[in-house]
Amino acid sequence: MKRNNSESQMAVLLNGKALARGIRLKIKERVEQLPKPPKLSVLLVGEDPASLAYVFGKQRDCQEVGIEFELHRLPEEVRQGELEEKIRSLNRDPSVTGIMIQLPLPKHLDPLQLVSTIDPKKDVDGLHPVNVGRLWLGSYDLDRDLLPCTPKGIMKLLDHYSIPLRGKLVVIVNRSNLVGKPLAKLMLDRDATVMLCHSKTHNLQERMREADVLVTAVGRRPQFVVDAEHVKEGAVVVDVGISYHEGRLVGDVLFERVSEKVSYITPVPGGVGPMTRAMLLQNVLLAAER
């Protein structure tokens, strides 16, 4: 997987922003062909500033492609039962195509139980046990099924740049239900050898140096950072981490230093983030087309 360019040149940029723009245009065309526009309903608990920013970003994305957006804001102290009943009412509403719960939630709420309450056909985050089960049984289609948005976006990005996975060692520094676990299964289904790493992994830096494809999704700068010495020559690096460090948005990877050593790399911002947002829109469209 070594690049053909000289050692002094930068890695090829995995431009998620440009690819996501093209995907959104295609989604808009397909939405316009539907008898009625799809509707995404988002449940937001509390007033977390970051969550608010993410939600309004989703609203802008939906408006761009013609998807209706509906925000349900609930107080921080909302009870589990109340939230579950709200979800069930959205399940019954024929005008609602997709339902998602903005995470994280207050500690007194059980996110797994809430996600399990969503109708699997409206689960545009791909986190309902039925959709997770289909993924792990291999009973899914990347283009037609409701899969978690970030892993799906990463696979689309790698496919767009024709990056082979068969027989490659993929090291994923994340074991969450949102990113690490579903991405591991998608990679396994492409015949990659996958290693899931986390905060308790022994010799983590050594494991990262072994990777043909390194996916890092920690988001704890400066406590965790990936430097050039932590990556293999010619590797593919996918940076999913997001942190605000020294007044700017950064990933886990020291981009300028690492890009001089690897073959492909995602920027932050402009890499995985736009793909995640585009895949959410695609999942809403898929739910509507069903």
Domains of the chain: 36-119 (3.40.50.10860), 147-273 (3.40.50.720)
143 among known catalytic residues: no
Least confident of 28-37, 192-201, 241-250, 266-275: 241-250
Instruction: Indicate the pLDDT class of residue 247, thresholds 50, 70 and 90.
Output: confident
Average pLDDT, the chain: 95
- Kindly report the CA angle at 154 between 26 and 176, in degrees rounded to 5? 130
Interhelix angle 180-188/149-160, nearest 10 degrees: 40
> Does the bond joining 38 to the residue before it have cis omega, within 30 degrees of 0?
no
- Distances in Å between the alpha carbon of 239 and those of 41, 50, 67, 100, 235? 29, 20, 29, 24, 13
Q: Which residues pair with 71 in a beta bridge?
A: 42
| CA separation for the pair 227, 254 (Å, rounded) | 6
- In this prediction, residue 139 has a pLDDT band, given cuts at 50, 70 and 90, of very high
- The residue-averaged pLDDT of 139-154 equals 97
pLDDT band at 1 (very low <50, low <70, confident <90, very high): low
For residues 218 and 187, what is the distance between their CA atoms, to the nearest angstrom? 19
β-strands 243-245, 248-250 pairing:
antiparallel
- Catalytic one among 61, 123, 125, 212? 125
Averaged over 213-235, what is the pLDDT? 97
Condensed to tens digits (0 to 9), the pLDDT of residues 7-57 reads 456 899 999 999 999 999 999 999 999 999 999 999 999 999 889 999 999
User: Annotated catalytic residue: which of 58, 86, 122, 181?
Assistant: 58
Q: Which of 46-50, 78-82, 262-266, 273-277 has the lowest mean pLDDT?
A: 46-50
Q: Is 282 noted as a catalytic residue in this protein?
A: no
Return the closest-CA partner of residue 2 out of 211, 193, 235: 235
**Taking 90 as the threshold, does the pLDDT of residue 105 lie above it?**
yes
Sequential DSSP letters for the chain: ---SS-TTSPPEE--HHHHHHHHHHHHHHHHHTSSS--EEEEEEES--HHHHHHHHHHHHHHHHHT-EEEEEEE-TT--HHHHHHHHHHHHH-TT--EEEEPSP--TTS-HHHHHHHS-GGGBTTS-SHHHHHHHHHT---TTTS---HHHHHHHHHHHHTT---TT-EEEEE---TTTHHHHHHHHHTTT-EEEEE-TT-TTHHHHHHT-SEEEE----TTTS-B-GGGS-TT-EEEE---EEETTEEE-SB-HHHHTTT-SEE--SSSSHHHHHHHHHHHHHHHHHH-
123 included as an active-site residue: no
Query: Tokens 């996918």 correspond to what residue?
Result: 238
Which listed residue (39, 86, 102, 212) is catalytic?
102
- Is the confidence at residue 197, as pLDDT, over 90? yes
The reported pTM is 0.95
Query: Under 8 Å CB-to-CB from 38, ≥6 apart: which residues?
Result: 31, 67, 68, 97, 98, 284, 285, 287, 288
